[in-house]
Structure 1
Amino acid sequence: MVKVLEKNISENGVNYTYEAYFKEILNYAKMGDFDILGHLDIVQRYAFKSGGIYNLDDYKDYIYAILKTIISRGKGIEINTSGLSNNLLFPKLEILQMYKDLNGEILTVGSDAHSCDRVGDGISYVYDLLKDIGFKYVFTFDKRKMNGILL
């Protein structure tokens, strides 16, 4: 993925790359068979090295449409803590607030650990953040059955 993004940025520019990414996520949100949409804006993890962290206002319409689609389909989003070591949260805090403002409720939280010493990194921090925003639950899934956990 990193090489594809870097090539796309060098050939087409940062704005094109982010826009193409969010368009693809919107298409998936409309048609995909999933319970939780992960990596909503994970593209910034890879693209910021060569193109900068995206400005939310530039893609707000896409993100709004993605969130509205997910909510209307009874789906949720994943919060990924893997970027916290670089002061990045996936998705951005502003997107979590937008999701809450749109009455989105279904959230999962994961550390995306690729080594056992990083499992659970940042989870308690994100739980506190979610409580501050006004979320009451996070969810887990077992065989596609949702289970709410009170924050």
Structure 2
Amino acid sequence: MKTISSQSKPKSSKTKFWAGGAIILVALIALIYNGLQMGGAYYLTMDELAAKERSMVGQGVRLNAVVDKESVNYDTRAIALNFDLVDPNSGARRSVSYHQPMPDLFMKSDSVIVEGTVLADGSLDAHNIIVKCPSKYEEKQDNGEEIPEDHANDAVMVQ
């Protein structure tokens, strides 16, 4: 009587190689896709966004502007930060809602870069805020003079 073995043949090294390669390829594609999604936001000024507002609804944008400190409303229980951005040149305003903890230097910052989605009412639903450090934290050269802005690494990313 012949017995049938329940054990299968070990996988060949070629099969293992292709399986490993497929896993690496899938992981690489996922990383590239995620990077494109995060970096796919348009970088606009307040005036540019106002001119393109209707076509930008639902799109991701990066907007650099000054925070109107008097408009800041932070609800610690709901972890909701609402504020207005103001363009210092044109005076244009835009409301922003952010549902994360308030960045540490937010109230002391001169300006912020807001990354988020443009809503139908023209406001921004922010998912990331980059805070520019206040000038009192800027580095000084050996002679006591401030380092020029184009040489100072003065942004703090908060996600």
Structure in which a larger fraction of residues adopt helix: 1
Larger CA Rg, structure 1 vs 2: 2
Report the TM-score, using the length of structure 2 for normalisation: 0.23
**Normalising by the residue count of structure 1, what TM-score does the alignment of the two structures yield?**
0.24
